């Protein structure tokens, strides 16, 4: 059944809390993330030294109930999308690492049991950074997010996990992992604590997203207890994927906006043949296209988030947003490098760094649940 005209409406007016929160995130992105992004990408500053600074933002404790030590705010995909967008304006990789624990918390709140929430969530309210992440992607060219191949089998009073996950944010240090697997032919998720016997972590060397501490996790008959199974076992993988797509889209929008905000003054100040290069239609039109594409990406992401927040079906909106963003984020990164000319190849400008991270958006799934 098609949506009615009323169903297609959504309100773009931010609340006072959202506006104040955006201001906080934007200042943090500029002062902390942007300032460290280059050094972290180059390996001069360990990414692990940065993430404890995000504790002051209170990201993970916002949706946690007051009874468990959190702020008790209602789960808001729209607010989360705004947070992700603002942090990624500083750097996509470090923003992804910063919100990975929130993605774990959101999924636990969404699909976990009361006992699991009581066991794990208070740690995120302690004032200490808790490295937590989700693991969905697998090393297969034809990998389908809706059909993970990592196998879970019953063993004794628990389960045994075997398989490989890739591109896991904070993967080298995560003390808590939410691992998506196949159990009896159906998707399931398991909470893995620490580094149990049989789990091997390998740091990845990728083109971009270096600050996210991406890692490959190999599970060789890793045994977990029965209560590690998330929820009652009926894991809603489609909902998990769709909420994660909203988060990934928001991250991409933030970094694409950073590219646009950087190239406009650069092109206005760059003089060639006696005039700013923005006087050339080819340059001006490319910048205009970037602005149009970013606005479309943002509106598609916000609409999907609004549908989710209102409790309506949002699968189609999340899928379309991810498809559109994956294509145009890479193009915007490429155009940003192109507009800088020879300087686009130089590391003294951050656009090449953002470009390398934006190339990954099309490959990412299940990493930043909104």
Query: Quick one: average pLDDT of 232-246?
Result: 94
- Per-residue pLDDT, 210: 94
SS (HEC) of 269-333:
HCEECCEEHHHCHHHHHHHHHHHHHHHHHHHHHHHHHHHHHCCCCCHHHHHHHHHHHHHHHHHHH
pLDDT at 5: 55
The fraction of the chain above a pLDDT of 90, given in percent, is 82
CATH class of 135-228: mainly beta
Residue written as tokens 């969530």? Answer: 121
Q: How confident is the model at residue 370 (pLDDT cuts 50, 70, 90)?
A: confident
Tokens of 278: 């923005």
What is 237-363's CATH topology? Answer: Butyryl-CoA Dehydrogenase, subunit A; domain 3 (1.20.140)
Helices (H), 13-76: 16-28, 34-42
pLDDT recorded at residue 17: 87
Distance of CA 302 to the CA centre of its chain: 15
| pLDDT greater than 60 at residue 3 | no
Mean pLDDT along residues 304-323:
95
User: Domain spans of the chain?
Assistant: 16-130, 135-228, 237-363
pLDDT (0 to 100) of residue 8: 60
Confidence of residue 4 (pLDDT cuts 50, 70, 90): low
Quote the pTM value.
Answer: 0.94
Instruction: Name the pLDDT band for 6 (thresholds 50, 70, 90).
Output: low
pLDDT score, position 1:
42
pLDDT of residue 319: 96
Q: What is the mean pLDDT of residues 68-81?
A: 90
**Lowest mean pLDDT, pick from 25-34, 249-258, 277-286:** 277-286
**Predicted confidence (pLDDT) per residue in 97-131, tens digit:** 999 999 999 999 999 999 999 999 999 999 999 99
Phi, psi for residue 12 in degrees, rounded to 5: -95, 5
Radius of gyration of the chain (CA): 21
> What is the C-alpha to C-alpha distance for residues 327 and 75, in angstroms, rounded to an integer?
29
Domains 135-228 and 237-363 share a fold: no
Compute the average pLDDT of residues 319-331.
96
Mean pLDDT of 225-233: 93
* Average pLDDT over the chain, rounded to an integer: 93
pLDDT tens digits, one per residue of 129-175: 999 999 999 998 888 999 999 999 999 899 999 999 999 999 999 99
Using the predicted structure, report yes or no on whether residue 199 has a pLDDT greater than 60.
yes
pLDDT of residue 27: 96
Q: Is CATH 1.10.540.10 the classification given to domain 16-130?
A: yes
Question: What would the pLDDT profile of 247-278 be if each residue is shown by its tens digit?
Answer: 999 999 999 999 999 999 999 988 888 888 88
| pLDDT of amino acid 277 | 85
Could you tell me the pLDDT band of residue 303, with boundaries at 50, 70 and 90?
A: very high
What's the length of the chain? 370
Q: What average pLDDT does this structure show over 233-245?
A: 94
């Amino acid at each position: 059944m098609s949506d009615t005209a009323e169903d297609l409406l959504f309100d773009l007016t931010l609340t006072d809390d959202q506006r104040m929160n955006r201001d906080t995130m934007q200042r943090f992105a500029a002062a902390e993330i942007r300032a460290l992004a280059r050094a972290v990408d180059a390996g001069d500053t360990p990414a692990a030294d940065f993430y404890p600074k995000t504790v002051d933002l209170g990201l993970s404790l916002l949706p946690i109930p007051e009874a468990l030590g959190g702020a008790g705010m209602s789960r808001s995909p729209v607010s989360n999308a705004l947070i992700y967008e603002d942090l990624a304006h500083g750097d996509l990789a470090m923003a992804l690492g910063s919100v990975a624990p929130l993605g774990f918390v959101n999924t636990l709140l969404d699909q976990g049991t009361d006992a699991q929430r009581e066991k794990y969530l208070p740690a995120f309210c302690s004032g200490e950074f808790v490295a937590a992440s989700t693991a969905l992607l697998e090393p297969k060219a034809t990998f389908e997010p809706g059909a993970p191949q990592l196998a879970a089998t019953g063993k004794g009073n628990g389960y045994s996990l075997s398989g490989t996950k890739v591109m896991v944010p904070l993967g080298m240090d995560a003390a808590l992992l939410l691992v998506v697997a196949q159990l009896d032919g159906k998707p399931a998720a398991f909470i893995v604590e620490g580094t149990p016997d049989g789990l091997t972590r390998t740091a990845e060397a990728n083109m971009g997203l270096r600050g996210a501490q991406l890692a490959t996790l190999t599970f060789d008959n890793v045994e977990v207890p029965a209560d590690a199974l998330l929820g009652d076992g009926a894991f809603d993988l489609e909902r998990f994927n769709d909420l994660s797509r909203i988060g990934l889209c928001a991250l991409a929008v933030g970094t694409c906006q950073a590219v646009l905000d950087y190239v406009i003054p650069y092109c206005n100040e760059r003089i060639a043949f006696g005039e700013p290069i923005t006087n050339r239609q080819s340059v001006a039109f490319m910048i205009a296209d970037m602005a149009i594409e970013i606005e479309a990406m943002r509106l598609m992401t916000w609409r999907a988030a609004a549908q989710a927040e209102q409790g309506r079906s949002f699968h189609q909106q999340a899928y379309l947003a991810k498809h559109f963003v994956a294509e145009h984020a890479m193009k915007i990164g490429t155009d940003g490098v192109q507009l800088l000319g020879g300087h686009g190849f130089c590391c003294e400008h951050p656009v090449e760094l953002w470009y390398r991270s934006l190339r990954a958006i099309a490959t990412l799934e299940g990493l930043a649940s909104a």
